[in-house]
Structure 1
Amino acid sequence: MKISIFVPQYGTIEAITPAFRAFNTANEFLIYFGKKPIFDVEYVGLNKFVPANNGEYTIKTNRLLCDITKTDLLIIPPTFGNMDEGLKANAEAIPYFKKFYLTGASLASLCVDAFLLAETGLLNGKKCSTHWAYINEFKEKYPQVEVEDGAVITAYDNIYSSGGASSLWNLILYLVEKYADRKIAVIISKYFALDIDRDSQTQFAIFRGQRNHGNVDIQKIQDYIEENYGNKITTDILANLINTGRRTFERRFKEATNNTPIEYIQRVRIEAAKQFFEASRKNVSEVMYGVGYTDNKAFRDVFKKITGLTPIEYRNKFAKVLHDI
């Protein structure tokens, strides 16, 4: 699997190197356990040598963006300092990001480089995460993109994004788990002394739900959904849990989480389904029933809307990696 890490102008070593080190270290542990390394990691950029940390360091790229015909995953670390200057300095890279995505690559932005990713237009109509301190600026600059306020990791149509600062490690660990397995991700988290933050193999690694709203009633509803996603859940049931009317409940839930109750239930169920496909040999029907769906078409439609793939496509793409290593 080819992983290309973009080295941006106005970048820092602290944000550029984690993904490179994590995936190469994952290869080392795969070899240690008698398996084949699966990650081919490279630095890519607009220039052969790119300054970082205001010129304190220089990173040598393995390939220029203009020389890349295909990659499987492009990781975009953040720029720092003046956001407009960072966007301007890296503007030449934007068409390449779009080209790679349209030819089948997944994209992952770390921290505030959701700004650079948003410049492609690929996030329009989708959701993303970014640093909490830049959310208002992001919303003003990109009104067609929905920011998941408080989310650590967001995934939509093979585009991944992370929240601020050390949250980039959460996304890196998630991607290691997705393309290798959980065992390797846990080892990487221990090796680098990181909190993998998955709540004991919970299914909500990407869609964590917005929980910094401070509304105790809505947090109670979120807990209920995440603990009972395999059962029948209706808006009326949820509203009754906090003794409020349906319309009032829907309004309050939307204001707090930026999702309707139905959207939230769907996201939790699909995240659970994705983990089943990645970590087990269950077929589509078994997974569908396990996460609370009884209608194949409904499950397929929601799954594709959220992931960009049908359940079968997702299973074939990601379960294969897990079974072959």
Structure 2
Amino acid sequence: MNVAVIAVEGSLLSAIAGLADLFWITNQALRAPPAGTAEGLLHHTQIVFNTTIVSADGKSPPAAQGRRIPVDCSFDEMGACDIALVAGMALGPDRLPPLSGSIETAAEWLRNRHKQGTVVGGACAGTFIVGEAGLLDGRRCTTTWWLHHAFKRRFPKARPVWGTAVEEQDRVITTGGPLSWIDLALHVIKLTAGPEIAKLAADVSVADTLPMPQMIYAPRGYVNAAAPLLLQAEEIIRHASPGMTAEALAGALNLSERTLHRRLKELTNESPKSFMTRVRIEMACVLLETPGASVKQVAQQCGYGDDTAFRRAFIQLTGMTPADYRRWAVGRRLRTEQREFE
């Protein structure tokens, strides 16, 4: 598998080097699997990841901190590849990913490679380069949670999914967060080499093959702050009785159910049911971080008459049970307090 890692001015050096390292680590693990792994399967795989760092002109652009990024060749010299990845980068003075000549060239190159069958991936602000290539139009995608609103404005034809860690559609993969290049690389390995080898790469790297959704890190209600309608709908849901329906929400907003569906699709790419579920689970996260309340009590406070349905919805959105989330959140707070004390 020929992997092209794209370097542009302002790229994160750690991400460029990290992508190359993780694929190299995977190769080493495949050559000499640790004891206890599925050696029979691994020894018979023919996959080797060959990583090349490329830039528009083959020269070394400055990284986010000013250091030069080592580059192997130019886009023209690279030619065909199986996978093309672009990592995060420094933001401009407006706190948005910049547009420059090298970035526009990278976007064009990605677009052409994708037409020829290449799997294209972007992590963090690198998703904006994938967007500039037009590869996110009409496709599900994600980006860093604090760039979500700007992303929607710049790429109105894209279908960004709020708060997810990884999205893939039509050979286009996007991940969110400056360190999400790890998730991107592991997803590429899973896609091209299979889940067993992806698990091996994760285990050897001591990484998680199931990245947690970004929504658990973002401030509660962050995405709804983008529009008055979303804030109003959120307030209604927070004070609604259990079993509130999409029809009832539409009525409370003085809208038809069809209009509510259309507006939510435009604003958040969610159905009314999905929107209501997300608001309730965000409420639950806050309540679970407060000592005392049982999971059943939290479910009832969030509008669920059935705590089984609540647990199912909670796992679907956060990847954890309510009890596991509480332990994770408490542990995270204690670690933060300990660092502050030290």
Do both share a fold (TM > 0.5)? yes
Structure 2 SS opposite 1:25: helix
Contact 2:29 2:204 in 1 (8 A): no
Query: Which residue of 18, 33, 53 corresponds with 1:43?
Result: 53
Matches within 5 A, 1:237-316: 243-245=243-245, 247-248=247-248, 258-260=269-271
Q: Which residue of 2 aligns with 1:98?
A: 111
1:166 and 2:179 matched: yes
Q: Which residue of 1 aligns with 2:239?
A: none
Q: CA deviation at 1:246?
A: 5.2
Deviations along 1:119-175, whole A, 9 cap, x unmatched?
Answer: 112211222111111111111222221221101111111110001122221222122
1:185 and 2:195 matched: no
Deviations along 1:44-91, whole A, 9 cap, x unmatched?
Answer: 111333132443243122x31123432111101122131454544422
Q: 1:191 to 1:88 in 2, by over 3 A?
A: same
1:146 and 2:150 matched: no
Question: Letter of the aligned partner of 2:23 in structure 1?
Answer: F
Q: Which residue of 1 aligns with 2:79?
A: 69
1:123 and 2:136 matched: yes
Q: CA deviation at 1:262?
A: 9.6
Question: Letter of the aligned partner of 2:193 in structure 1?
Answer: A
Unaligned regions of 5+ residues in structure 2, if any?
33-38, 222-241, 250-256, 276-342
Give TM-score scaled by structure 2 length: 0.58
Pairwise CA RMSD? 3.3
Contact 1:127 1:154 in 2 (8 A): yes
Aligned mates of 1:198, 1:117 — CA distance in 2? 21
Contact 1:70 1:100 in 2 (8 A): yes
Matches within 5 A, 1:190-209: 190-197=203-210
Contact 1:9 1:86 in 2 (8 A): no
Question: Letter of the aligned partner of 1:75 in structure 2?
Answer: L
Contact 2:246 2:273 in 1 (8 A): no
Query: Which residue of 72, 81, 84 corresponds with 2:91?
Result: 81
Question: Letter of the aligned partner of 1:70 in structure 2?
Answer: A
| 255-264 or 157-166, which deviates more | 255-264
Q: Which residue of 2 aligns with 1:13?
A: 13
Give TM-score scaled by structure 1 length: 0.61
Q: Which residue of 2 aligns with 1:23?
A: 23
Q: CA deviation at 1:191?
A: 2.8
Aligned mates of 2:134, 2:80 — CA distance in 1? 20
Unaligned regions of 5+ residues in structure 1, if any?
200-207, 216-241, 265-325
Q: 1:155 to 1:66 in 2, by over 3 A?
A: same
Contact 1:5 1:44 in 2 (8 A): yes
Q: Which residue of 1 aligns with 2:69?
A: 58
Question: Letter of the aligned partner of 2:177 in structure 1?
Answer: G
Contact 2:2 2:51 in 1 (8 A): yes
Q: CA deviation at 1:263?
A: 9.5
Structure 2 SS opposite 1:108: strand
Question: Letter of the aligned partner of 1:26 in structure 2?
Answer: T
| 136-145 or 109-118, which deviates more | 136-145
